[in-house]
Structure formats: structure tokens, C-alpha cells
Amino acid sequence: MVERLEAPIHRPVLTAQLIERLRLTPGARCIDATIDGGGHTAALLERIAPSGEVLGIDRDAELLTAVRVRLAAAVDAGRLHLARGNFRELTRIATSRHFAPVHAVVLDLGISSYHLDVSGRGFSFMRDEPLDMRFDATDATLETAADIIASRRQDELQAILSDFGEERYAGRIARALVAARPRQTPRTTRELFELIAAALPARVRWQAARSAARVFQALRIAVNDELDAIADVLPQALSLLVPGGRIAAIAFHSLEDRIVKQFFVAQRQAGRVHVVTKKPIRPTDAEIAENPRAASAKLRVAERLAPP
């Protein structure tokens, strides 16, 4: 546990662009609904100093422990409040902490570098780990990735891989997963990667890592119900804002970004928001060179309008 927390947790992306477009002033109150390693929160606290406050939320107790250590001064000063929970319960969490209304809500969507590199929960095929993929490893109500692989019908698995991973060979891979039952159902990342590679046509097997990345993404999204959670949190975030307050969402793949974009468009058409980012803000070449995982990030920001 200690070794994991001492390792680098997460490098936030688009931080400067995010802070610029939130237009925060000293004394503002903000919610970081995906606090992760605390990178965006640290920048928020600096911008709204000396008296502004942030409520930071995360599902993962280990990440919150790391943030509590990293930003101990802000916690001790009463400027940073930490809450464990799923952001799809944002209204309940904020109201229970008497932390509403607010001037900004930040949503850094997708997966943390911590989960990929350190957590040991099978989010990546780059190391051999159990196929868990739960963001909250203590949540017994969630099925693990191994559970989903072992229990779903072939058509259900194919839909997961196709819809959430946009995997071209979803049908072949789903068929192989079902055929492997029960003796060879994959329980580790290495076993799953080997099955994916074997299921691909021979001519593309050398590109197995590409299909594996999409399959792992799809299973992770299914395990954590990520897309429905995004659809649930966006209207809550908007409702917590003061007029003129802003919601910012950073998405890392098209499925996430599409939900954010469609929500902003619908709210703009209803006269509830002004969309600040006509096009999504992308990382600079310099940021991508320093942090290759930033390459797919897209930032969208909208401002709540006062009711007519």
C-alpha cells in the first residue's frame, strides 16, 4: 500500500487550459468530481486562494489517501474537503457536505495512470494481473472483468466489445471467450491477451495489442458502468452551479466526448448554458511529447446561464 502511494499517481492533462476557461476568482468554491492524484485540484486551490475551497471526490480510497498526504496543508486549513463516492451521486455528496452551490465543477473522465500502472487490478495487459478492473476494489456489488467474461452470453460479450471498444473483431473474440469456458476462461490479463491474439485472423495477429487495448477498454467501461455514470452526473453538475458558474469535462475517447457534447448542445438549445468551447480544446504538441497519454484528451466547457 505505502509503496503504491509513493509511486507517481497521475499526471493531469490540459490543466492550464482548464483553469483559464473556468475564469475563477479568489474565494470561489469548486468541485473536482474526479480528484484522482489531485493535480487539477492543486491548480484550482492556487487560483481561488486564499479562501476558496474545493470538494474533491473519488471512488478509490487509495487515491484519496494519496491526495490527503499530497495536499495535507489544504486539508488541514479547511480549504480541501475529500469525499469518497461515485460522481453519479454528485448531488447527494455535495449537499451532505453543505457544498452547494459552486462556481465550477471539473470532470476528468476515463482512467487514471495510477490504475494502469500501479493498482494491480488488471486495467492493462502490459503486466500480468488479476482481471478485476473495478475503480473501487471494495465494491462487492460490481462484477469484475473476469466475472463478466465468465457469465455473459456470446451476443452480450460481442455487444460490449463492439459498443464500448469499437473493436472490429468483436464477434470472433466473443466467440473465443465463450468457447474457452469453463476450463480456460481467462482470469488474468496475460491469459486474456493470449486469447484475444489467438482469436484474430492470422494476417492481423501482429497487431494484437491494438485489439487488446480496445477489448480492455470495453471491459473496464462495462465493469464500472462509466458511460451511464457520465450521463447521470452532467445534469447534476449543472444544477449545482451558480449562474455564471462553469462545468468542465475532459474526455479521452469518442464515447465519453459524445455524451458531453450532446449534453452541452441540448442545454444550449434549451437556453440553460453558453458553450464556452465551440470546438474541444486539445493538448499542445509539447504536452503530448511530455505526456503521451494526453494525446486523445478533449476539454469542453459550458457556463450556466441565469434563468430568464
Task: Quote the mean pLDDT of the chain.
Answer: 93
Q: What is the CATH number of the domain that holds 128?
A: 1.10.150.170
Whether residue 183 is predicted with pLDDT greater than 90 in this model: the reply is no
> Are 151 and 17 found together in one domain?
no
As a whole number of Å, the end-to-end CA separation of the chain is: 52
Q: What is the CATH number of the domain that holds 81?
A: 3.40.50.150
- C-alpha separations of 242 from 20, 253, 282, 300 in Å: 18, 29, 27, 18
> Are 215 and 169 found together in one domain?
yes
Whether residue 110 is predicted with pLDDT greater than 50 in this model: the reply is yes
Whether residue 8 is predicted with pLDDT greater than 70 in this model: the reply is no
| Mean local confidence (pLDDT), 212-230 | 96
End of a domain among 224, 246, 280? 224
Assign 50 a pLDDT band (cuts: 50, 70, 90).
very high
> Are 219 and 230 found together in one domain?
no
End of a domain among 191, 224, 257? 224
> Are 45 and 74 found together in one domain?
yes
> Are 77 and 166 found together in one domain?
no
Residue span of the structural domain in which 157 resides = 121-224
> Are 14 and 101 found together in one domain?
yes
> Are 8 and 105 found together in one domain?
yes
Assign 233 a pLDDT band (cuts: 50, 70, 90).
very high
pTM for the model stands at: 0.92
Q: How many domains does the chain have?
A: 2
End of a domain among 224, 249, 276? 224
> Are 23 and 73 found together in one domain?
yes
